[in-house]
Homo-oligomer: A and B are copies of this chain.
Amino acid sequence: MTSVKRSKHQGFVHLRQRLQQLGVDSDSVLDALLERINIPPGRYRSEDIIVPGKESRHSTVLIEGVACMYERLSNGSRQIFSFQYSGDFCDLARNVLPVTNNEVAVAAITPCSVGTIGHNDLNRLIAQYPALGLALWRAAMIEASILRKRLLSIGRQPALQRVAYLICEQLARQDAVGIESACIPLSQLDVADAAGLSTVHVNRTFKELLRRGLLVRMGRTMKVADRAGLASLGEFDGKYLNMPRLLSRWQLDIQLPSQLIKS
């Protein structure tokens, strides 16, 4: 049970980048945070990274791999809320709102390595560096935006559009962390549980997307052939997670007043 702790760990590149996108522009703050993160050895395969109902004294961040956050109904059916990529926090809500969200689980889709940071450490850092708290606040608002869009898609679009939307969302999220692949790392079951459909119907939907030339086969998995076509079919508009843009606005709005006060 030894663990690595050093801010230069190569797995930190994505987390670093993500925090910068969220507005943490000072290296000293970044280093202070990364310094506190443990990387337990080994990888999660498909066991749950976050087990529902279990308390924990630390927060978890995804370093490598693809994971999903989900919850089950009592009849066993599963709704996937979001897919997570390198640099995503898995369970921030548990730090700020400990009682909340105990039923939510996080599971690995591809083999995952994670980092952990104690709640106490994190809270102390937030108190010390307001920029960090603001960054995490923004992360929460972005998550809420993503959830709203998914709700719109699942509540009001038919299967074909839903799946198209979901695929676009994943491409956009991968872009945001610098992954260029046009392949979808998800099984049809994952897509079904995220889109609120049955696997059988997802399969038929994929067939139709192939027929329309929006997807192509890459052996076992699917590859996006016509990204614009998919986006227009699913009414996907990536603006809402366009980090770089946001960043510039943010600095105008917040950085300025806080300096005015100090002077």
Contact = CB atoms under 8 A, between A and B. Distances in A.
Interface of A: 71, 73-74, 77-79, 81, 92-93, 95-104, 119-120, 123-124, 126-128, 130, 133-134, 136-138, 140-145, 147-148, 150-152, 154-157, 195-196, 235, 237, 239-242, 245-246, 249-250, 253-254, 257-258, 260-261
Given A74-B235, A130-B127, A151-B79, A100 B157 contact: no
Contact of A97 (B102, B126, B141): B141
**Main secondary structure on chain A at its contact with chain B?**
helix
Contacts of A130: 127, 130, 133
A151 to B, nearest CB: 6
Contact of A137 (B96, B145, B237): B96
Copies in the complex: 2
Given A71-B148, A137-B137, A137-B140, 20 more contacts: A73-B156, A78-B156, A79-B155, A81-B151, A81-B152, A96-B250, A98-B250, A99-B240, A99-B242, A99-B249, A101-B148, A101-B240, A102-B239, A123-B257, A126-B254, A127-B254, A130-B130, A133-B137, A150-B151, A156-B196
Q: Which of the listed residues A93, A140, A246 has the most CB atoms from chain B within 10 Å of its own CB?
A: A140
19 contacts: A71-B152, A74-B235, A78-B156, A79-B155, A79-B156, A81-B151, A93-B144, A96-B134, A97-B246, A99-B240, A99-B249, A100-B141, A100-B241, A123-B254, A124-B258, A133-B137, A140-B140, A147-B151, A151-B154
